[in-house]
Each structure stands twice: as C-alpha cells, then as structure tokens.
Amino acid sequence: MRLSTAHTFDAGIDNLQRRQLELAEQQMQMTSGKRVNRASDDPTAAARAERALALESRSVASQRAVEASRNAMQTGESALGDATELLQQARETLVAAGNGSYSDSERTSLVQALRGIRNQLFAVANRSDGSGGFVFGGQGSSAPPFVERPLPEGVAFVGTAGQTVVASGEALPVTLDGEAAWLQARTGNGVFETQATTQNGSAWIDAGSVGNPAAVTGDPYSLSFSVDAAGVTTYTVLRDGLPTALANEPYQSGTAIEIDGLSFKITGQPADGDRFDAVPSEASLNIFKMLDRAAAALETPGLNGGQATQAVTLGLRDIDASLGRLQSQRAQAGEALNRIDGVEDRLAAVKLGAKVERSSAEDLDMVEAISKFQQQQSGYEAALKSYSMVQRLSLFQYINP
C-alpha cells in the first residue's frame, strides 16, 4: 500500500492533537477535583450525582423548616414559662388577700397588683414570634390573637384554633394553640365545679373532690340552707332540680357532704337561703376572666370573713387549674423540641448519605489522576519528539549533492 508523506504528517498531527486533548481533559479533572464534569463524561454516574444532589437540596430545605419550628417552640416554651411565673405571683397575691384582718383598702391594693399581673399575662399571650406572626396565633393570625372586649365577655381569642405546621417531611409546629392554652383549662377540680350562688352568711365551700369515680353521674347539684327560728341549720341537696336522699339534713361546719361519688365541705355559718352548687366541669376556664372574677370578688366592699375566704378559695382553685393547663402546654412544646432534635439528626444523616453518594459518583481519585496525568504527559512528550524527528525527513535530503 502506498503511503504519501503528507498522509504520514497528517496522521502524526492527529495523534498529537488527540493526546493533547486527553491531557487537557485530565488537567481539567484535576483542577475541578471531579471525574464527571459533564453528563457526557459518564451518563450513569452523572444521573447518580444528580439524584444525590436533589436529595441533598431537599434535606437543606427541610433543615430550614426544622429551624423555623425550633425557634417558634423555644419562643413558645419561654412564653409559657413566663406565664407560669406570673400565675404563681397571682397565687401568692390571692393568698395574701385572704387575710381576714385586712381592711377594704389593704385588700384593694392587692387587687390592683392582681390586675397588673393579669395585664402582663395578656401581653405574654400576644407575644410576637419575631417573624411577623404570634406565638399563640393558632393556625395563623396577622393581628394579635387575643383582644379585650367589654365585660362580661372580656378577653377573647380571635385567631383560628389549632396549630400551623411546616411543610417538611414531618409535621412540625411553628405556632401554639392559644385558645387551648389560655381559654380551655377545665373548670373546678376537673370533674365538677363548686360555686357560691347565694352567700349572705359566713359559710364557704371548698373545691371538693371525687371519692368514687364510678358513682359520678355528671348531673348538676344544688345545696340550699334553712335556718329556723330556733337557729337550727339544715340543708337540702337537689340533683338536677329533683329531690335526693339528703333532705333537711342537720348541718355541721367542716363536715364532708357526700353524694353520688362527690365530696365537698362547707365551713362557717350559712344564712337562711344561702345556696351552693356543684356543676359538671367543662374545658372553658378563661385565665383572664378567672383573674377578673377573683379581683372583682375581692374588691367588693364590706366582705365578711367567709366571703373573702370563698373568693380566695375559688380563685386559688382556678389558678391551680390554669397552671396545670399551661404546664401541660409547656410539656407539649418541650416534646416538640425533642422531636425536632430527632428530625434534625435524621436530616443530617440523609444529607451526609447524599453527599457520600454524590462524591462516589463524580469525585476524582486524585492519586490515580496524577499518575494517569504523568503517564499521558510522558506519552505526549514522546510523540512530540518522534514527530519532530520524522517531519524533518524528506526525499530532497537524499538527492541533494
């Protein structure tokens, strides 16, 4: 086969250009640290790397949602802690107001302190979350979720009950349900609520207790007193307006009165016609109304010892119920923070796995790459030297004299 000089030269140049291109490609890989810089380098590895990158991006987005939830729950937990401390102060103020030796003016000063605490609680309930929303905004509120309305309504929740959750792999809250936290504690002792409906004497009723849960009927009870001309005091208990076995029973101060699993004590001397009720408990105890009610009762001029004790007793009972509710909500916020920690750990593991997968698919083995580069460089230099020697060969060198 006849090979021309021009063809030999062209083949040599093509070989040099191919080797130079391979050498440049190897240099680019070493500079970037990536084995796959374009999808054409390795389509399968490029697809693996793209899937890993998408998973890593989703993990980063979910991490931002987790951080938003963590900030909200930390703010909410702190707000609930502040509210708990304020209610403890309100409790101490109520205990002090129950001092039987206090005059109306002394009791009024304590009532003012109680109202100040109530106003602080209102500010806590409307606390901002720092990002344009409100900690207790429920399912979202552009305005403060609690508003002051004329009595008897008082403070009302104008947000939407429930919680807002972040859009991530797991439902994580970014708000707390203000209505549930502040307005839905159970009244009374959680089963029934004692009330002083008519109180002209010095008798007062305690919060009561449940002796036999199986016997509780869930009906309302009323206890009315009668004092005859001889000064003998008796009481009669009605169940939902109907007579019971307790009719015209002799009254003894401080002795437990038990009926259908309920037990409560009335202490002091009642007046004729005084009435006390025991009604089923409901999840409707409003912290603000409760404090307003206690303040109004203690501010009434001319309270006798029994009336002051009654106001304090019922106020302490309601504060304890409200404290229990806030502590329950605070525990839920703490549980959410624990769950957030777990989600964050799982996201970190997913993100690390995606990075490892992406690295495995596209990263360059630098030791191998350097060795290959040196090998290609040596081959290119050898080819260049060979071509430089061959391209000088010509027939004219043989025919020249």
Say which residue, 141 or 96, is predicted with more confidence.
96
121-153 pLDDT per residue, tens: 999 999 998 888 899 988 877 789 999 988 788
All structural domains of the chain, each given as residue ranges with its CATH number in brackets, are 34-187+283-363 (1.20.1330.10), 192-281 (2.60.40)
Q: How many CB atoms lie within 10 A of CB 214?
A: 6
Q: How many angstroms separate the CA atoms of 97 and 110, rounded?
A: 6
361-375 pLDDT per residue, tens: 665 656 665 666 666
228-265 pLDDT per residue, tens: 999 999 999 999 999 999 999 999 999 999 999 999 99
Which pLDDT does position 142 carry in this prediction? 77
Which stretches of 179-243 are assigned E, i.e. beta strand? 185-186, 192-198, 204-205, 209-210, 221-227, 233-239, 242-243
Query: 12 pLDDT exceeds 90?
Result: no
Query: 269 pLDDT exceeds 70?
Result: yes
148-187 pLDDT per residue, tens: 988 788 899 998 888 888 766 677 888 899 999 999 999 9
Query: 64 pLDDT exceeds 90?
Result: no
Which pLDDT does position 213 carry in this prediction? 93
Query: 296 pLDDT exceeds 70?
Result: yes
347: pLDDT confidence band, cut at 50, 70 and 90? confident
Which pLDDT does position 355 carry in this prediction? 74
293: pLDDT confidence band, cut at 50, 70 and 90? very high
168: left (phi over 0), alpha (psi -120 to 50) or beta: beta
Q: How many angstroms separate the CA atoms of 121 and 259, rounded?
A: 38
User: Chain centroid to CA 354: how far?
Assistant: 29
The DSSP-derived string for 82-105 is HHHHHHHHHHHHHHHHT-TT--HH
